Structure 1
């Protein structure tokens, strides 16, 4: 029996093997015609009304006949709006379509479907859409002695799209005449204030359309707000606009506009460099204002008496002497002064001693309490034209001969931070944003505040100022560590003024 069982098992094995061999020829196997999608990025950015062109590169493992597939470009609405049904915006291998969507971030995907099997190949990407002129950095450039307004249009996060000659792109009726002075942003109860100042005029533009043909007194040009300067022009103008409050220096006078205090919307009061005897005194073009609607004070420097004056922002035009114990300015010339939010708010003033030719930095509050006085022994300080104060660390930064130096009040040392070989620096500042005064007025207060802590540096090539201008953004760390470069954009003119158009 044992032998019979073994023979039986052997026969079964032979049958099984022979069955398998025969079964191999009973099936017809075929490989999938897989599709690989290349040359399709994960993110695209554009302005509303621009054309989005994407030409993906497709490769097939078997048959490259494109008629065997369908091709769809789809989106599911703005980011976070998952309740919207998928929509097909285009069918075809490539996408070439004008995007007229509301500003926002759109989830999109490219879907290829094999007709015979229904197998789907998909690649996802995001499209960020911005609005021309709506939000972003406004740049005022010098183009051969004439003014041009450019813009970095905000798209998403750290993404901006440059627009050369914004007024032409917006079909504005404004033609800027004269050399550029400044671009300024403010706000009052009647709406946003946007002024582009040239040597000939201060143009008030509506931020949405950038037009001037708007009825109403709140859209008056500077020549109407300050009639005494209409024939003189505004080449020396320095302006600080904020929430409800504007300070405008021009032709030796500092003028004031405050809706709450003076109900001044269609005019200014001043000049406020007027003493208690109602006599106008000569002041430096540098002045400091808090930018706070609840404390709209200003500090002025009387160049005749060599002392500070303070205007309280109250009804009237009188400014009074401000005593600063420990600061003798008898032999000082003021070369820079500004207000900074550093450590609760201080005025920073840089003086040149006419006897020693040395430079001094003074830090004091709006009440005249001196917090710091020290000599600046940094290189090339005597050739510095541009200064700014870090709003968090209190560093004094100055630019000279294509270099940026940083003076640390704590160590009283000056460090070379940046050098731009073969280029000149035309603008240096930490931008002053409107948001901190009234965050509820603006749609993105956190982003706006973040931008206010970035150093802006604009440079150009003296041999080609009309097209060599650039703008660079940095983070300035503590402990005099190197600047951290964030973004840079080029192809502008000589940029002389920058402001963020907050929304």
Structure 2
């Protein structure tokens, strides 16, 4: 029995030894010489990352292919269209009439090697454009008639464009021109709005036709249209909608749906409350919250409005730090104009019962804890400059540009310095003031002309250039780049 166990043990050892040798042999590095034939990748030439196409014109992209047998290569083209059918094309060159809207489209070229089934990809973009894709639009009033004109990048003016294209006149008494973009979606272009005292027209930005997709009149932009329309003032919100005072009430364009929906930007019911707002108000916008400062012209008090999905009226639901300087809930004056500089200091110019103009400075915290801090009340230093024809434009650097008659002034509220800008307008009445987006240029409108002034540090409004040939007196303008 002992001998049998010993033999079994020897056999097991022998088996383990054999397995070990085989395992070592399997781990031995394979030094064999193999030929691997990888397919040759086609080399693409004459391809860009972005192509520009004008609506109605030919779009031709003709790449050159090397390192492959052209007979075995098939090119498959695809332009992705979110709101419609994709553009599909097969051929050695893309040759189509570009009939899409003037937008940016993602596109892909697939290089298919029919000999081995391999596919290679090249992604690019197609930018659709029209003759109106770049330039300046100007809203003006000519002999009592509202005019809308387009200025090409070379400075040539297509005057009275709306009248020429539509065969009719715009509503009278123009006030504002907006080019709306939704900055929350990368700057989606949503159209032009021409606003007048009692109405407005919406234009498709690439055709300048009345927009067929969205409501194309201000009256139709209300879910429930008021009996009468009297626009106090409107401003553009960064989400590409208008907000402001109509018939003394505060309205906000809806943003609760996709910005390509026909109802996007329409006005619902106004902010509920017992109030009648003066036309002038300010909006303070941050990514966290948005609020508005208004003025109830009946009670002569500053009021708070917050944007909680839609505008909500809170009236004087705020605490006042002190009423020693002035009482914001009982100003006892009429508001002429309201400015807020850099989402901070506010300046209200009010007309007292004595007929004089007073400057009120204050700060608010209307996103919480809902406080109002009066800072000063004083007579404005140049009474004669402020009347119903005064033009205003407040800058983030803390100064306010004021125009009256034929002169433009730079007003610094810190030291009450009022300095006339360097450029003379030779007696022409100023009808428009507008800051550029970077606030280094001031656009000044006079009869038939828009002048561009340099207001960068130390420049004091020196002349840069001008656009001539505008029909009548400019009221507002928008620049599309």
Alpha-carbon deviation of 1:400?
1.8
Q: Pick from 243, 246, 251: which aligns with 2:242?
A: 246
Contact persistence 1:153–1:161 (CA under 8 A) = yes
Cα distance in 2 for partners of 1:411, 1:266 equals: 41
**Partner Cα distance (2:340, 2:269) in 1:** 21
Is 1:179 matched up with 2:176? no
SS in 1 for 2:152: strand
From 406, 424, 432, the counterpart of 1:427: 432
The verdict on how the C-alpha distance between 1:281 and 1:213 changes in structure 2, with shifts beyond 3 A counting, is closer
Listed one character per residue, the Cα deviations across residues 139-177 of structure 1 (whole Å, up to 9, x for unaligned) are: 11112211110122335xxxx4332123356x4577523
Q: Partner of 1:358 in structure 2?
A: 357
Mapped contact 1:337–1:349 kept (Cα < 8 A): yes
Contact 1:290 1:296 in 2 (8 A): yes
| Residue 282 of structure 2 is aligned to residue 288 of structure 1 | yes
Does the residue aligned with 2:253 lie in a helix, a strand or coil?
strand
TM-score, length-scaled by structure 2: 0.61
Q: Is the 8 A contact 2:391 2:433 kept in 1?
A: yes
Match of residue 266 from structure 2: 267
The RMSD of aligned alpha carbons is 3.4
SS in 2 for 1:310: strand
Q: What is residue 337 of structure 2 aligned with on the other side?
A: 336
Cα distance 1:362–1:164, how it changes in 2: closer, same or farther (>3 A)? same
Relative to structure 1, is the Cα distance of residues 199 and 411 closer, same or farther in structure 2, using a 3 angstrom cutoff?
Answer: closer
Matches within 5 A, 1:367-406: 367=366, 368-370=372-374, 373-378=377-382, 380-383=384-387, 385-406=389-410
Is the Cα–Cα contact under 8 Å of residues 143 and 472 in structure 2 kept in the other structure? no
Q: Render the CA deviation track for 1:84-124: whole Å, top value 9, x for unaligned.
A: xxxxxxxxxxxxxxxxxxx9xxxxxxxxxxxxxxxxxxxxx
Quote how far apart the aligned CAs of 1:334 are. Answer: 0.8
2-structure distance, mates of 1:228, 1:415: 47
1:413–1:266 Cα change, 3 Å? closer
Unaligned 5+ runs, structure 1: 1-47, 50-82, 84-102, 104-129, 432-448, 461-468
Q: 1:292, 1:152 → 2: CA distance?
A: 33
| 1:470 is the counterpart of 2:474 | no
What do residues 452-483 of structure 1 show as CA deviations (whole Å, max 9, x unaligned)? 432111112xxxxxxxx21111122457x632
* Unaligned stretches of 5+ residues in structure 2: 1-53, 56-63, 65-101, 103-128, 367-371
Q: Secondary structure at the match of 2:153?
A: strand
Give me the TM-score of the superposition, normalised by structure 1. Answer: 0.58
2:346 paired with 1:347 = yes
